[in-house]
Structure 1
Amino acid sequence: MQDLQEWPHPPVTAHRRPADERESRRANGADWDRYADEYQATHGDFLGDVGFLWGPEGLTEAEAGILGPLDGKDVLEVGSGAGQCSRWIRSAGGRAIGLDLSYRQLQHSRRIDEQSGVPVPSVLGTATDLPFADGSFDIVFSSFGALQFVADIERAVAETARVLRPGGRYAFSITHPTRWMFPDDPGEEGLTATQSYWDRTPYVEVDDATGTTSYVEHHRTLGDWVAVLAGAGFRLTTLLEPEWPEGHERLWGGWSGVRGRLTPGTAIFGADLAG
Structure 2
Amino acid sequence: MSQEDEAAATRRDVAAVESSRANRGWWDRNADDYQQEHGGFLGDDRFVWGPEGLDEEQAGLLGPAGDLKGRDVLEIGAGAAQCSRWLAAQGARPVALDLSHRQLQHALRIGGELRLVQADAGALPFADASFDLACSAYGAIPFVADPVRVMREVQRVLRPGGRWVFSVTHPIRWAFPDEPGPEGLSIAGSYFDRTPYVEQDEAGRAVYVEHHRTVGDRVRDVVAAGFRLVDLVEPEWPAWNRQEWGGWSPLRGQLIPGTAIFVCERDQ
Task: Judge same fold: TM > 0.5, yes or no.
Answer: yes
Determine which of 94, 97, 121 is the counterpart of 1:96: 94
1:60 CA displacement: 0.3
Q: What amino acid is the match of 2:246?
A: G
Q: Please report how far the alpha carbon of residue 184 of structure 1 lies from its aligned counterpart in structure 2 after TM superposition.
A: 0.5
Matched residue, 2:189: 195
In structure 1, what is the Cα distance between the partners aligned to 2:126 and 2:54? 30
- Tell me which residue corresponds to 2:122: 128
| 1:13 pairs with 2:8 | yes
| C-alpha deviation, 1:207, in angstroms | 1.8
Q: Secondary structure at the match of 1:269?
A: strand
Q: Secondary structure at the match of 1:104?
A: helix
Runs of 4+ off more than 2 Å: none
Corresponding position of 1:219? 212
Q: How far is the alpha carbon of 1:185 from its aligned partner?
A: 0.5
Shift of 1:212: 2.1
Paired position in structure 1 for 2:52 = 57
Where does residue 244 of structure 2 map in the other structure?
251
| Whole-angstrom distance in 2 between the partners of 1:162 and 1:148 | 20
2 CA distance for matches of 1:152 and 1:226? 14
Identical residues among aligned pairs (%): 56
Q: CA deviation at 1:71?
A: 1.0
Q: Residue 71 of structure 1: which of 69, 72, 79 is its match? A: 69
Amino acid aligned to 1:43: H
Residue matched to 2:267: 274
Instruction: Report how many aligned residue pairs link the two structures.
Output: 265
Provide the rounded CA distance (Å) in 1 between the counterparts of 2:149 and 2:15.
Answer: 13
* SS at 1:184 equivalent: coil
TM-score, normalising length from structure 2?
Answer: 0.97
Three-state SS of the structure 2 residue aligned to 1:142 is strand
Flag structure 2 segments of 5+ consecutive residues without an equivalent: none
1:103-252 to 2 correspondence within 5 Å? 103-113=101-111, 118-208=112-202, 210-252=203-245
Structure 1 residues 126-150: Cα deviation after superposition (integer angstroms, max 9, x where no partner):
1100000000000011001110100
| Deviation of the 1:228 alpha carbon | 1.1
Q: State TM-score, norm by structure 1.
A: 0.94
Q: Give, in angstroms, the shift of residue 153 of structure 1.
A: 1.1
Work out whether residues 110 and 119 of structure 1, in 8 Å CA contact, stay in contact via their aligned partners in 2: no
Deviation of 1:225 after TM superposition, in Å, equals 1.0
**Preserved contact between residue 242 and residue 267 of structure 1 (Cα < 8 Å):** yes
**Distance of 2:246 and 2:175 partners within structure 1:** 15
Runs (5+) with no aligned partner, structure 1: none
Give the SS at the match of 2:168. Answer: strand
State the distance in 1 between where 2:260 and 2:225 align. Answer: 20
Q: Is the 8 A contact 1:157 1:232 kept in 2?
A: yes
3-state secondary structure, aligned to 2:142: helix
